[in-house]
A and B are shown apart, each in its own frame.
Chain A
Amino acid sequence: MDNTSIWLMIIGVSIVSLTPRIFPVAFFSRYDFPAVVKEWLSFVAPAVLGGLTAVSILAPRGVIDISIQNIYIWAFLPTIVVAVKTKNLFITLLVGIGTMALIYNFFGM
């Protein structure tokens, strides 16, 4: 891909990635959603996080890997315990990263 094409590609990707973020807020802010739509939307965040968590732990390299060799599953265990106990993002992050560093370096997988 030549220089000009790369710039055009970047602009194209920019348009298609920003439109779906900006358009709903710009457009729907004028309207009041019916109660049932609001309720449906209130489930989007827990649903998305459930999906993202599952994929990031059980398919960390883009392919589903449910096995004892998947070190993400091992790091998941202490991390979720700390998350439930503390409900603190920063502490959870430190425990998660720390556990992963330990497993990665000492069990070298």
Chain B
Amino acid sequence: MQQEAIQQKELQKGMKEAIPIVLGYLPLGFAFGVLAIETGMSVAQATMMSVLCFTGAGQYIAIGIMQAGGAMITIIMANVLVNLRYLLFSTSTVPFLKDRVKPLAASLLSYGLTDETYAVAMNHYQDHEATASYMAGLNLTSHLGWIGSTLLGAVLGGFIPDTDRLGLGFALPAMYICLLVMMIKRRTDVFVAVFTAVVCLIIGFLIPSTMDNLSNIIIATIIGATLGVIINGQH
């Protein structure tokens, strides 16, 4: 196959795999748009925040702090914490991207790294080589879905259909469940996933504030991955 045809196919593959993500982002982006306007942002600001930040949890936190009359620095500090997990995610994609995707392209396309695009891509890399075209298809389509649904929410605002009635609130959980099942290849993976889930909940129960900035997930992941290495080392 010609180089161009391969790239085209990879791009389409990425776009196709982004469809479930877009479906999951729809109600979340929409709700962000509605809330942003209610909080005093303009349509342009709400939309640009989704363009420039692309951080669901972080953007909701920003709205929450603004509503509470909090300071700009509080919003930014909270976002440092919320986005810290991407250091781990991004680093763990490196072994798959290295020597396959040019560093500049890989770096720029990592703009679109989220919980969801990360999980879908890592699953894809289990039995496919990483390509810039695939990353572009997956990340840009997902990002466009996020931006588009924010814009819709910001513009339509008042006429919100109750997306909970449509069951869309379960889109992201359903996606996590399936990706988790698909990601489990080794016996140790099962153990690590369950252990991390339990640790995550215990930390969230003992220190509820960690649930707001997702730091419980970071701590639990570090412990869980370390345990995985220890268990594997014993065999």
Interface residues of A (CB under 8 A from B): 1, 3, 5-14, 16-26, 28-30, 32-33, 36, 38-60, 62-64, 72, 75-76, 79-80, 83-84, 87-90, 92-93, 95-102, 104-105
Contacts and interface: CB of A to CB of B under 8 A. Distances in A.
B144 interface: no
Interface residues of B, number: 101
A55 B230 CA distance: 25
B192 A54 contact: no
Contacts of B172: 56
Interface in B166-187: 166-184
Count chain B CB atoms within 10 A of each CB in A10, A59, A104 and give the residue with the most.
A10
Interface in B72-98: 72, 75-76, 79-80, 82-95, 97-98
A18 to B, nearest CB: 6
Contacts of B197: 50-51, 53-54
B40 A1 contact: yes
A93 B91 contact: no
Interface string B141-170: 000000000000000000000001111111
B201 interface: yes
Contacts of B196: 46-48, 50-51
The B interface, classified by DSSP as helix, strand, loop or mixed, is: helix
B204 A59 contact: yes
Given A21-B111, A33-B94, A38-B95, A52 B52 contact: no
Interface of B: 17, 19-20, 23-24, 40-42, 45, 48-49, 52-55, 58-59, 62, 66, 72, 75-76, 79-80, 82-95, 97-98, 103, 106-108, 110-111, 113, 115, 118-120, 122-123, 164-184, 188-190, 192-198, 200-201, 204-205, 208, 211-212, 216-217, 220-221, 224-226, 228-229, 232
Contacts of A55: 200-201, 204, 211, 216-217
B180 A50 contact: yes
B179 to A, nearest CB: 6
A52 B87 contact: no
Contact of A104 (B42, B87, B164): B164
Given A9-B75, A47-B193, A57 B173 contact: yes
Contacts of B212: 62
B229 A43 contact: yes
Contact of B173 (A30, A72, A87, A104): A72
